[in-house]
Amino acid sequence: MFSTGLQGTDFFLVLLSAALVNNVVTTQFLGLCPFLGVSARMDSALGLGAATSLVLLVSVAIAFGLDTLILTPLDAHYLRTIAFIFSIACAVQSMDIVTRAVSPRLHRVLGIYLPLITTNCAVLGVALLAVRDTESFLSAMLYASGGAAGFVLVLVLFTSIRERTEGNHIPPLMRGTPIALVTAGLIALAFMGFGGMGGAS
């Protein structure tokens, strides 16, 4: 049940599909609240991206094991959402405790973002998609890695553009949220160009 299920270029295709073709933000439209709310400064974006990636990997590992060992044998797939939300909350709380004890400096960097990740729909969405669309633990973790990489990539691109537009002459009606939404839309259009690649699902 935990076999690899992948051969050759499948590893690359799963990563590419999750990161670019089916990007969690630009295609799945998940995690838009932190995407828009924490993208004003690069240090905040990197902190949130690192914390989200770490939680995403741990959550998908727990979710896959929970689904394979408990929910599937009991034919209780309808409990996936509730069970995964609980596992994500536990993973976030555990990581908060561990990082505080092991690396106080890392906790200072990630600590302010960890509580926000509990309500980040991108983490729950990737966990549900990974369990539904993959057949092995390794492919689920590859999907989670690609989803995390795609989230960080889009967040960094969006933050870089927002920082560059701050000093430009923008019409008053377009300042703030309007120009941010236009920028997000253009990034989403750019990522649509990856839709014709072979890794699309």
Secondary structure of 103-123 in HEC code, one letter for each residue: CHHHHHHHCCCHHHHCCCHHH
Please tell me the predicted confidence (pLDDT) of residue 110: 66
The answer to whether the CB of 62 falls within 8 A of the CB of 123 is: no
Report mean pLDDT in 10-residue bins for the chain, 201 residues. Answer: 51 79 85 77 81 88 92 90 89 82 75 74 89 86 91 90 77 80 86 65 43
The pair phi, psi for residue 33, each rounded to 5°, is: -65, -55
DSSP 4: -
What pLDDT does 52 receive?
85
Whether pTM > 0.85 for this model: the answer is no
Q: Determine the pLDDT at residue 197.
A: 60
Collapsing DSSP to helix, strand or coil, 22 comes out as: coil
Structure tokens at 89: 């909350």
Q: Which of 71, 47, 59 is nearest to 125 (CA)?
A: 59
Instruction: Label residues 90-122 b or e (16+ Cβ within 10 Å = b).
Output: ebbeebbeebeeeeeeebebbbebbebbbebeb
pLDDT for the residue numbered 53: 87
Tokens of 61: 């590992």
